[in-house]
């Protein structure tokens, strides 16, 4: 016959095993959550960077449009048109470089 003490030791051991398993599962879930959060944060930074570049590109294109319209209205091109064109080209190059960098990272399986 099994004594009460042995039964209590077995129950205590089972409780310890169950608590250890639950702790390991929580630890694994926490690690996974931290990893996912890092991916989300990286994506948010990329979206922010892309948004700033897109705004810069739109602004440069607007300025170029205004300068071109002024040049047509006045019948002559001036330094404003040339400056606006350079700024639009600069913004376009920055945006393309950003997109190309993202594409290369994806090809190399970087996140």
Q: How far is 40 from 44, CA to CA, in rounded Å?
A: 6
Which CATH number is 99's domain given? 1.10.287
Is the pLDDT score of 93 beyond 90? yes
| CB hemisphere CA count around 33 (13 angstroms) | 6
Is the pLDDT score of 109 beyond 90? no
Tell me, yes or no, whether 28 lies in a domain. Answer: no
Tell me, yes or no, whether 36 lies in a domain. Answer: no
How do residues 58-80 score in pLDDT, each as one tens digit?
999 999 999 999 999 888 887 88
Domain encompassing residue 70: 44-111
pTM of the model: 0.64
């Amino acid at each position: 016959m099994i004594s009460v003490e042995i039964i209590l030791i077995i129950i205590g051991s089972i409780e310890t095993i169950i608590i250890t398993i639950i702790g390991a599962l929580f630890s694994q879930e926490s690690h996974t959550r931290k990893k996912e959060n890092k991916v989300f944060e990286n994506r948010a930074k990329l979206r922010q960077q892309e948004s700033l570049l897109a705004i810069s590109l739109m602004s440069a294109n607007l300025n170029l449009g205004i300068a071109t319209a002024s040049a047509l209205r006045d019948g002559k091109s001036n330094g404003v048109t040339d400056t606006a064109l350079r700024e639009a080209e600069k913004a376009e190059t920055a945006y393309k470089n950003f997109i190309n960098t993202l594409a290369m990272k994806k090809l190399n399986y970087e996140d």
